[in-house]
Homo-oligomer: A and B are copies of this chain.
């Protein structure tokens, strides 16, 4: 597809497609629903990318899915039969969020994370202290307990990504960090409301 101005895209075919490809050194690919669904590569995708790599094109991967580190995406590409890739050829939203927070936060500031191990690993690599990943229990039986649980003073951002342990307890803590004042950033890795999986199924 190629942008034709505004938000409209146009499918490239035949001569036009060949001409555009001949002039391109680097190709960027979305991942979920484009290269694969869950653990199943889309039919023909690995072979097509293999031909592009053999023709000397540089292949890069862009994804707003925050559930994997850049290294994990290279492993998934290999596992599904795509051409070999290096972490520097992958730009994912976990990596992007960690880079952004490294610029946006003052030194020593921490992030409260509604997200999984990949977000945690990319924050670690960027040197950003953080807390939150993994399961969390409500801090007592009554709403007044939930509203008074300890908060970490260093937190200056709430980072939201894919989180299989997302819960009311974590939402409560996130809201309380954000209500402390306008100097607490709210950063989301993407706005997708579902992730396409094998066989047409989907998860939130």
Contact = CB atoms under 8 A, between A and B. Distances in A.
Given A144-B39, A147-B202, A203-B143, A194 B168 contact: no
A78 interface: no
A69 to B, nearest CB: 17
Interface string A53-96: 00000000000000000000000000000000000000000000
B148 A175 contact: no
Contact of A168 (B143, B163, B202): B163
A201 B146 CA distance: 10
Given A38-B143, A38-B144, A197-B143, A164 B168 contact: yes
A2 interface: no
A51 interface: no
Contacts of A9: none
Stoichiometry, as copies per complex, reads 2
Interface residues of A, number: 29
A24 interface: no
A96 to B, nearest CB: 22
A34 interface: no
A163 to B, nearest CB: 6
A138 B194 CA distance: 17
Interface of A: 38-39, 138, 142-144, 146-148, 163-169, 171-172, 175-176, 179, 194-195, 197-198, 201-204
25 contacts: A38-B143, A38-B144, A39-B144, A143-B195, A143-B197, A143-B203, A144-B197, A144-B198, A147-B197, A147-B201, A147-B202, A163-B168, A164-B169, A165-B167, A166-B167, A166-B168, A166-B171, A168-B204, A171-B204, A172-B203, A172-B204, A175-B194, A175-B203, A175-B204, A179-B202
